[in-house]
Amino acid sequence: MDIGFIGLGKMGQPMAKRLVAAGHKLVVYDTRNDAVAPLVALGAQLASSPADVADRVETVLASLPEPHVVLRVATGEGGVIQGKKIRRFVDLSTTGSRMAREIHAALKARNIVQIDSPVSGGVSGAEKGTLAVMVSGPRAECELVKPALEVFGPVFMIGEAPGAGQTMKLINNLLSATAMAATSEATVMGAKAGLDPSVMIEVINAGSGRNTASDSKFPRTILTGEFSWGFATGLMAKDVRLCMEEAKTLGIEMQVGQAVHAIWQRAIEENGADSDFSRVIIPMEKRAGVQVRARK
């Protein structure tokens, strides 16, 4: 399948490589030369703009960091909306359902199908092909691109309404952000009480408190002190914010969500938006005067 791929960052790079390895022919674009070079070396064609990508292929995938960037790439000057060949735009990013509907309406006016396809599973999931792929859009169009999306991991058809996949992604990431924040608070409390952090994590993972943070993130990046999970604090905070905005639009009160949002905002203020999101525990540790690390 001939596929365009825009956005070759931490997630887009391994996903694009998996498409090449699976035999798909790629036309790629990114604003950074160092990002496109590895794909070109694998045989991908280099485009000069999103519109150039959309001039060459019918199916364009995008993996981009922020909703406003997706909007610009999809509908702005030099965007895919100006392409002569494109028939469908598959958004792998996390934008929230409101932005997805806005992009859908703009592309529909040009007879381009918008397919929401946010993914979950992190950089390691992108590399291994174990991402959860949440798809929404016209069923026939989703089935058409499914073989390509399955290269990333299991595909879940969320619905046909524009933005349904985005809503699912925000729900998922709120739970992920909550697990990270709550596990950080709990283990800081235990460390303050004198408990061994490694033993705490072992007990949690053997008991009912087990979650995605305790199961993988703590052993790999926090107990070791590496803080190298590969996902930015600012991106997680953005996802939680989008979820809170969608909940407000729906008239839903989310007390836990608001508390989690505040924790991630503090992490941005004290650690920086570009910091690894596993460092969310650092402000809690500083206030408690302890560290949640494996004892030597």
* Beta strand ranges found along the chain (DSSP E): 2-6, 25-29, 45-46, 59-62, 88-91, 113-116, 119-120, 132-136, 155-159
Tokens linked to 4: 């365009």
Q: Do 92 and 13 contact (CB within 8 A), yes or no? A: no
Other C-beta atoms within 10 Å of 9: how many?
15
- 3 state DSSP class of 184: helix
Question: What are all long-range contacts of 19-24, with beta carbons under 8 Å and residues at least 24 apart?
Answer: 19/148, 19/151, 20/44, 22/148, 22/151, 24/148, 24/151
Q: What angle do CA 113, 118, 119 make, to 5 degrees?
A: 140
Q: Do 218 and 285 contact (CB within 8 A), yes or no? A: no
* Beta strand ranges found along 94-238 (DSSP E): 113-116, 119-120, 132-136, 155-159
Distance separating alpha carbons of residues 89 and 115, to the nearest angstrom: 6
In the set 84, 108, 169, 286, the catalytic residue is 169
Distance separating alpha carbons of residues 290 and 68, to the nearest angstrom: 39
232 secondary structure, DSSP code: B
Tokens linked to 2: 């001939």
Catalytic-residue membership of 169: yes
Catalytic residue numbers?
Answer: 169
